[in-house]
Amino acid sequence: MIIEILAIGLIISAVLALFLDEVVYSVAALAATFLLTALIYVLNGAVFAGIFQFAVSIGTLAILFLSGEMLGEKPSKKASSLRIGGLVGVGFLLSLPAIFLSVSGVSHVAPDVEFGDALWNLRGVDVLLQAIVILTVAIGISIVLFERRKK
Amino acid sequence: MDYVILSIVLLFIGIYGLLTKRQLLKVFISIELIATAATLNFIMLASPQGMGEALLVLAFSVDTAISAVILALLVIVSKHYGTSDITKIVAKLKENEVEESEVETQ
């Protein structure tokens, strides 16, 4: 039950981090996202990962607060409580599939292999995806070079 | 509770922000959300959990390095163009290009 509440909070804070107009509030919501992620790690037995996430996120957030204050443009009007309530509602709705649906037990690779095992043991998929990414980058670079030569 | 769906939702929130937000800091926050979604999978789907934690350390190191580079670029670009809005920066870049081409033709 606690993890479900943390997951809802995680999605809500992620939505608020992205859609709040004031940059400082946005960074505060991102801090909540990182903190909740660290708590989820700790509650799942990955204490080391939780502490690491917490430590790294503090550094990132300190710099983000500074640069947010320095670079952030002040919004013309303050966010209304109705908008914030709407964002919280959207975050809550987005977190529902994670709580009520499940894909981890299902695998289309082989019937007796779970999703986690498939991701970790059958590495062909991510090798293929990496190849696609590298190919796309190579095509992109060659197009840029071709355009430059044309000029 | 399914962590795969949780990380997919986080990933899509991040991608949506990356595609729609015009402020550079919001783009950076979107990248951080995408990185969080990826690292969540390292912990939750690792078959021996220690393996996932070891890979998470690597992912965090890369993520921090990326954050440092992005923030440095962000500060330079914002100071150079006087704004952190991508559309305004692109408009100024186009203005500069037009001015350069006019100077070349003269």
- The ipTM estimated for the assembled molecules is 0.85
Each domain of chain B, given as residue ranges in start order, spans 3-105
Residue A15 bridge partners (DSSP): none
Residue B23 bridge partners (DSSP): B85
How far is the C-alpha of A70 from the C-alpha of A17, rounded, in Å? 18
69-98 in chain B: CB under 8 A from chain A: 71, 74-75, 78, 83-85
Residues 6+ apart with CB under 8 A from A7: A40, A95, A98, A99, B1, B6
Pick the CATH number of B3-105 from 3.10.150.10, 1.10.357.10, 2.40.370.10, 1.10.287.3510: 1.10.287.3510
In chain A, the residue whose alpha carbon lies closest to the alpha carbon of B17 is: A18
Kindly report, residue by residue over B26-44, the tens digit of the pLDDT.
Answer: 888 998 899 888 888 878 8
Each domain of chain A, given as residue ranges in start order, spans 1-101, 104-151
Kindly report, residue by residue over A35-46, the tens digit of the pLDDT.
Answer: 999 999 888 888
Taking chain A (151 residues) in runs of 10, the rounded mean pLDDT of each run is 87 90 86 91 85 86 79 69 83 81 58 61 72 89 86 70
Task: Tell whether B18 lies on the interface with A, counting CB pairs under 8 A.
Answer: no
User: What was the pLDDT predicted at A59?
Assistant: 83
